Chain A
Amino acid sequence: MRIITEAVAGTLESSDLLVKVSPSRDKTLEIHVASDVMEQFGAQIRRVVDDTLKGLAVSDGLIVIEDKGALDYAIRARVQAAVLRGAACEELRWEQLS
């Protein structure tokens, strides 16, 4: 799956996160995570993001995350929503979203 258009999911509010995706200019997958709890949970957040992108088979795109202390399943849901919007995905394969 490739990000072909700019898209956003989530909010900046506490316990949520904002995920912004946009097309990559050099066909790479680039991920930036900023979090209020970066020191404690940065690595864990990054792992959830990576796993979610892998589950969706995202091959290229720019993924920017502003995390406000969201729990893992919120992170997963927001990343999925942003990617599916940005990939202009019409047909959902639900088993990928588990």
Chain B
Amino acid sequence: MPAELEFYTVDDGELSQEREQIKRLLSESDLGWDSRVETFVFCKKGAQLIACAGLDRDVVKCVAISPAFRGSSLSLQLGSELLKVALERGHFHLFLYTRPENAVLFRGWGFYPLVEAPDRVTLMENSPIAIQQYCKDLQALRRPGGKIGCIVMNANPFTLGHRYLAEIAAEACDWLHVFIVREDASMFTYTERYELASQGLSDIRNITVHHGSEYIISRATFPGYFLKGECTVDQCYTAVDLLLFREYIAPALEITHRYVGTEPICPITNKYNQDMKFWLEAANSRSLSIEVVEVPRITRHGSPISASEVRRLLQNMDLRKIKELVPESTMNLLISRFGDQRKSEMTHGVEH
């Protein structure tokens, strides 16, 4: 009698003897090991590992089936198991990356394509309507005008650099939509970043500050952004994020221009800016081109104002220097959050 199929789940920390087998299985499907996968669902037949699927929070990846077992119902069993495991971990709304030619297989898992970077990758989500609902919400916030600008910022924290970019863009456009990156992976919480940007821009009359979403520079659409330490930007991922913007978000708000500051320091952001010109303007797409406007950064004492510089100065508790780089609202938060720390350090004789 043939051995029964056995499904089981392993969290990343507990992987041991499987690791080599998984790597082999993935390489048979031209996939690499992804260290961000937190949970694997495996299928074994006897001692042989014949299928796996990985979960990185709400993103499905590393799905592979041993060539000898393809074309059977195994894929659907694997998909069912994975969805069950994801739900147990609190992830109902899932994203999935696959090569475009495999997207049809994942339709069988209840995933629907969102965007495709041709010959590279397709991003799917397990809802037939989630993105449409999101776009409908955005449409309600449309503003009239022929030139509608957009800035996406992390604002970690909001600086005079952000303010300057928004001023230039708002001046040039009928309306400016500003999105704050929602993912809580930064020094300042999302609530803080959103509040600071809202306060810092409140006096400009033609600006809407929007909440970010999982469709704009999120862990799902652009994982590389949140892994700056590794300094590798995956070309595929910038494409996915930018195509989502061009094909869904921009049409919903009738955005015609995207504004971005030049990036002299961070290689990831710089690469993203360069990719932006290709994917928003030049690449083939079912949607209109969005003009990318790169605005030179405002400088103070010869160096560009950036949030990363502010964070660096914060490590040295150099609030005096920071004061020249941020608006009052941001300064107030920094003082309330870090001022006491500074005082206590000073009483201990630590002055930088």
A contact residues vs B (CB 8 Å cutoff):
6, 8, 11-14, 18, 20, 22, 25, 30, 32, 34, 62, 64, 66, 68
Which residue in chain A gives the minimum CB-CB distance to B110?
Answer: A66
Interface pairs (28), CB distance under 8 Å: A6-B87, A8-B84, A8-B92, A11-B80, A12-B76, A12-B77, A12-B79, A12-B83, A12-B108, A12-B110, A13-B73, A13-B76, A13-B77, A14-B73, A14-B76, A18-B80, A18-B110, A20-B110, A22-B92, A25-B133, A30-B129, A32-B128, A34-B110, A34-B128, A64-B127, A64-B128, A66-B110, A68-B76
Shortest Cβ-Cβ A-B pairs, 5 listed: A11-B80, A66-B110, A6-B92, A12-B76, A12-B80
Nearest Cβ on chain B to A93's Cβ, whole angstroms: 26
State whether the Cβ of B109 lies closer than 8 Å to any Cβ in chain A: yes
Interface residue from A12, A14, A25, A62 paired with B109 (Cβ < 8 Å) = A12
* A8→B83 contact, CB < 8 A: yes
Which residue in chain A gives the minimum CB-CB distance to B82?
Answer: A12
* A20→B92 contact, CB < 8 A: yes
Q: Which residues on the A side are within 8 Å of B83 (C-beta)?
A: 8, 12, 18
Nearest Cβ on chain A to B69's Cβ, whole angstroms: 15
Nearest Cβ on chain A to B105's Cβ, whole angstroms: 11
Roughly how many angstroms separate A68 CA and B108 CA in the complex, as a whole number? Answer: 9
Q: Which residues on the A side are within 8 Å of B129 (C-beta)?
A: 30, 32, 62, 64
B contact residues vs A (CB 8 Å cutoff):
73, 76-77, 79-80, 83-84, 87, 92, 108-110, 126-129, 133
Nearest Cβ on chain B to A61's Cβ, whole angstroms: 13
Roughly how many angstroms separate A32 CA and B133 CA in the complex, as a whole number? Answer: 13
Nearest Cβ on chain B to A8's Cβ, whole angstroms: 6
Roughly how many angstroms separate A22 CA and B77 CA in the complex, as a whole number? Answer: 23
Since A25-B133, A62-B129 are in contact, a sample of 13 more A-B pairs with Cβ atoms closer than 8 Å, ordered by chain A residue number, is A6-B87, A8-B83, A8-B92, A12-B77, A12-B79, A12-B83, A12-B108, A18-B83, A18-B110, A20-B126, A32-B129, A34-B128, A64-B129
Q: Which residues on the A side are within 8 Å of B110 (C-beta)?
A: 12, 18, 20, 34, 64, 66
Q: Which residues on the A side are within 8 Å of B127 (C-beta)?
A: 64
Q: Which residues on the A side are within 8 Å of B126 (C-beta)?
A: 20
Which residue in chain A gives the minimum CB-CB distance to B108?
Answer: A12
Which residue in chain A gives the minimum CB-CB distance to B81?
Answer: A11
Roughly how many angstroms separate A18 CA and B109 CA in the complex, as a whole number? Answer: 9
Interface residue from B79, B87, B108, B133 paired with A8 (Cβ < 8 Å) = B87
Roughly how many angstroms separate A22 CA and B129 CA in the complex, as a whole number? Answer: 12
Which residue in chain A gives the minimum CB-CB distance to B111?
Answer: A66
Q: Which residues on the B side are within 8 Å of A66 (C-beta)?
A: 110
Roughly how many angstroms separate A24 CA and B178 CA in the complex, as a whole number? Answer: 27
Q: Which residues on the B side are within 8 Å of A32 (C-beta)?
A: 128-129
Nearest Cβ on chain B to A52's Cβ, whole angstroms: 19
Which residue in chain B gives the minimum CB-CB distance to A22?
Answer: B92
Nearest Cβ on chain A to B110's Cβ, whole angstroms: 4
Roughly how many angstroms separate A18 CA and B77 CA in the complex, as a whole number? Answer: 12
Roughly how many angstroms separate A64 CA and B77 CA in the complex, as a whole number? Answer: 19
Q: Which residues on the A side are within 8 Å of B84 (C-beta)?
A: 8
Nearest Cβ on chain A to B131's Cβ, whole angstroms: 13
Q: Which residues on the B side are within 8 Å of A12 (C-beta)?
A: 76-77, 79-80, 83, 108-110
Roughly how many angstroms separate A36 CA and B62 CA in the complex, as a whole number? Answer: 25
Q: Which residues on the B side are within 8 Å of A8 (C-beta)?
A: 83-84, 87, 92
Roughly how many angstroms separate A4 CA and B304 CA in the complex, as a whole number? Answer: 49
Q: Which residues on the B side are within 8 Å of A64 (C-beta)?
A: 110, 127-129
Roughly how many angstroms separate A30 CA and B129 CA in the complex, as a whole number? Answer: 10
Roughly how many angstroms separate A6 CA and B110 CA in the complex, as a whole number? Answer: 16
Nearest Cβ on chain A to B309's Cβ, whole angstroms: 40
Roughly how many angstroms separate A7 CA and B127 CA in the complex, as a whole number? Answer: 14
Roughly how many angstroms separate A23 CA and B126 CA in the complex, as a whole number? Answer: 16
Q: Which residues on the B side are within 8 Å of A18 (C-beta)?
A: 80, 83, 110
Which residue in chain A gives the minimum CB-CB distance to B84?
Answer: A8
Nearest Cβ on chain A to B29's Cβ, whole angstroms: 20
Roughly how many angstroms separate A30 CA and B76 CA in the complex, as a whole number? Answer: 26
